[in-house]
Structure 1
Amino acid sequence: MSVITMIAGAVSTASLIALIHYVWSAYFQPQAFVRRAHIQSGMSPLKWTYFGLAWLGLAIMIYGGTQSALFWMPDDWGWTDEDGDVQPLRSYFAVAAAMLLTFPALGFIYRAAADRWDAIERKRPGS
Structure 2
Amino acid sequence: MLYWFFTNPVSLSRWADKHAEGRKLFFKCLYLFTAFLGIAVAASGAVESALAWMPRSWVRYDEDGESEWIASSIAHVAGFIVAFFVTLKGAELATRIRRLEEESN
Q: Shorter-chain TM-score category?
A: 0.5 to 0.7
> Any idea what the Cα deviations from partners look like across 1:51-107, whole Å, max 9, x if unmatched?
322221111111111111112111111235625xx4211000011112222111101
The answer (yes or no) to whether the contact 2:5–2:31 under 8 Å persists in 1 is no
The residue number in structure 2 matching 1:54 is 35
Give the letter for the 1:21 counterpart: F
Alignment of 1:43 onto 2:25:
yes
Note the C-alpha offset of 1:115.
4.5
Give the letter for the 2:54 counterpart: M
Counterpart of 1:66 (choices 32, 47, 60) is 47
Give the letter for the 1:25 counterpart: N
The count of corresponding residues between Structure 1 and Structure 2 is 98
Q: Distance in 2 between matches of 1:48 and 1:112?
A: 16
Taking structure 2 as the reference length, the TM-score comes to: 0.61
Give the secondary structure class of the aligned counterpart of 1:43: helix
CA gap of 1:52–1:30, structure 2 versus 1, over 3 A, is: closer
Stretch of structure 1 that moved more, 88-97 or 74-83: 74-83
Alignment of 1:25 onto 2:8:
yes
Q: Distance in 2 between matches of 1:69 and 1:88?
A: 14
State the identity %. 22
Taking structure 1 as the reference length, the TM-score comes to: 0.53
> Any idea what the Cα deviations from partners look like across 1:19-76, whole Å, max 9, x if unmatched?
x833x214x749749x8xxxxxx933x5544432222111111111111111211111
